[in-house]
Structure 1
Amino acid sequence: MTVSLDSKVAIITGAGGGLGKAIAKAFIAAGAKTILVDINKDYLTSAVSELGEEAHAIQGDVTSPESVQNIIHEAIKKFGSMDVLVNNAGVMDNFAPVGDVDLKIWDRVIAVNLTGPMLMSRAVIKHFLEKATPGGVIVNIASLGGLFGNRAGAAYTSSKHAIIGLTKNTAAAYHKKNIRCNAICPGGMLGTNIQNAYQDGIHQENHKLAMSTFAMQPNISDLPDVANVVVYLSSDMSKTLSGAVITADGGWGAF
C-alpha cells in the first residue's frame, strides 16, 4: 500500500540539506505541498533547484519568534492552510560534558534544538485549532542521543531528551483536538549538522567515549530511509500513533 500525502501542506525546517532535504524530497514524492525552511539562503536555493518546482522555500530562523510568525504567515498565504510540521532543524555540540560546557555552545544548541521546535509548534498549533476541521501532525526529529547519555555532549544530549518530553506533552495536551505529535530518533547518518561539532572544536575525551558506541552500530542509516519514516508518521496511515518515540537507527539502540 502506497503512503500518500496528497493535498497535505507541510513545513519542514532545516530543509536546506541533509535529512531535511531528504524529507522534503520524500514528501514531494508522496504528493504533499512542501515548504522548505532554512536559515541558510544558499542551502535553500540549492535544495529548491535540486527538488524542482514542487519545492517552495521560506528563509527563516526558527529561534526567532518574529521569524517564526513570518514563516507561518507566508506558508498560509501561499497555500491557505497547513497540515504537517516537521521540526528537523538542529545543530550538534562539541561533545563537551557538563563540566566543560561552553555557555555559547549550550545556548545555541538549546535554542535551535529545543526552543525552535517549541516556537514552530506553538505557532502551527494555533492554526491547527482554527481550521474548519481542527487537526494536524507534528513530527519532531529527536535522536538516539535523546535516549542515551553517551552519544554526544551535554548540550546536544539534553536538547534531544527535552524534545522527546515536548513531544509527549504536546501529544497529551492536544489528543482531543485531533493533533498528533511523534518523535523520531535517528542514529548515525550522513547529514550536515555533525560538521558543527568539528567547527566548535571537539572535546577529545568525551568524543572518544561517544565513538566507542558507534562501532556497535550495524550500519549508517540512509537519509531516504529515515525520511520515509517521517512520511509515514505524517500520513493518515499512522493516525493511531501519537506521543510515540520511534527509533530509526539501523538497530544501533539495540546494542
Structure 2
Amino acid sequence: MFELKGQTAIVTGAATGIGEAIATRLGKAGATVAVADLDLEGATSVATRIDNGAFALKVDVSDKSSIEACVAEVLKRTGQIDILVNNAGIAGPAGPIWEQTPETWEKVVAVNLSSIFYFCRAVLPHMRGRRYGRIVNIASIAGKEGNPGMVPYSATKAGVIGLTKAVGKEVATEGICVNAISPAVVRTKILEQLTPQQVSYMTDKIPMKRTGTPEEIAAVAHFLASPDCSFVTAQCYDASGGRATY
C-alpha cells in the first residue's frame, strides 16, 4: 500500500525536520526524491541516507528563478515529477503586529506562501500533460486559528490553505490531487525561533498534551502523495493531536 516505486518527488525544506521525515518516508516507499533545500550540505546528507537514487538540490524558495531552475533540473535528471511537497517555511520573529517590520512580513510571505504559488505554477504544466500528480502543501493550525505574536506566520499559513483548496479544484478532473496538512506544534528546529511562552501556548491547546513528531506528519503526507489518494483533493488534513476538529 502507498507504493511509490517509479515515481519522482520533490520535497522542499528537506534538510531537517518535517521535510527530512517526509523525504525519508517517500524514499522508503520507492520514490526517487529530490531533497531540495537552501542548505545544500544538509540536503546532501539526507539524500545520502535515503539512497534509492535520491539527490540533493539547492533551492532558495523565496526566489522564483531558483524555483524554476530546481524544477527544470529535476525534469532533466528524471524526466518526470509525480509528487511535490511544499514544506519549506519559517516562523519569523515573535512579537505583536506593531513590532513586525515590513521586511519580516515580506520575507515570511515569500518563503511560506509565494514559494508554493511559484512551485505549483512550475510543476503543474508537466503534471497536467501527464494527467497525474500529487501536491502536498504544509500549512499549520496557526492558519486556522491565528497565533498571537505570529501574525505573518499565521496569515501565510491561512493563505496556504486557501491556495490549496483553489488549485485542487482547478485540476480536479485532470488526475491531480492537491491537499494540505495543518500540523499543530511539532518538535523541530523551527521551535528555536519561538519563545517558551509561545510553545506553551500552542502545546496547552493540544488534547494529547504533547508535541507531534516529524514522522507523524510524514505518515499523513505519504498517503496524500500516493496513488491511493485518488478521491481526496482540495482538503486540509489536521495533524494536531485533537487541537482542531474542523
TM range (shorter): over 0.9
Which residue does the alignment assign to 1:222?
A: 213
Whole-angstrom CA distance in 1 between matches of 2:225 and 2:11: 11
Whole-angstrom CA distance in 1 between matches of 2:84 and 2:166: 16
Deviation at 1:225, TM superposition (A): 1.5
Whole-angstrom CA distance in 1 between matches of 2:48 and 2:18: 17
- Decide whether the 8 Å contact of 1:95 with 1:152 is kept in 2: yes
When residues 214 and 235 of structure 1 are mapped into structure 2, their CA distance, relative to the original with a 3 A threshold, is: same
TM score, norm. by length of structure 2: 0.93
Whole-angstrom CA distance in 2 between matches of 1:179 and 1:151: 35
Deviations 1:190-246 (A, max 9, x none): 212233x25xxx5xxxx7466334223222112112101101011121111001110
Which residue does the alignment assign to 2:118?
A: 119
Paired residue for 1:141, among 138, 142, 151? 138
Residue 158, structure 1, aligned to residue 155, structure 2 = yes
- Decide whether the 8 Å contact of 1:142 with 1:184 is kept in 2: yes
Whole-angstrom CA distance in 2 between matches of 1:152 and 1:159: 14
- Superposed, 1:16-165 pairs within 5 Å as 16-131=15-130, 134-150=131-147, 153-165=150-162
Which residue does the alignment assign to 1:187?
A: 184
TM score, norm. by length of structure 1: 0.89
Structure 1: runs of 5+ lacking an equivalent = none
Deviation at 1:18, TM superposition (A): 0.6
- Decide whether the 8 Å contact of 1:167 with 1:182 is kept in 2: yes
Partner SS, residue 124 of structure 2: helix
Which residue does the alignment assign to 1:178?
A: 175
- Decide whether the 8 Å contact of 1:93 with 1:152 is kept in 2: no
Whole-angstrom CA distance in 1 between matches of 2:7 and 2:230: 14
Paired residue for 2:227, among 236, 245, 252? 236
Structural RMSD (CA): 1.9
Whole-angstrom CA distance in 1 between matches of 2:76 and 2:214: 30
- Decide whether the 8 Å contact of 1:171 with 1:180 is kept in 2: yes
Deviation at 1:30, TM superposition (A): 0.8
Question: Percent same amino acid among aligned pairs?
Answer: 30
Residue 246, structure 1, aligned to residue 237, structure 2 = yes
- Decide whether the 8 Å contact of 2:34 with 2:55 is kept in 1: yes
Whole-angstrom CA distance in 2 between matches of 1:233 and 1:30: 13
Deviation at 1:136, TM superposition (A): 0.8
Deviation at 1:42, TM superposition (A): 2.2
When residues 12 and 143 of structure 1 are mapped into structure 2, their CA distance, relative to the original with a 3 A threshold, is: same
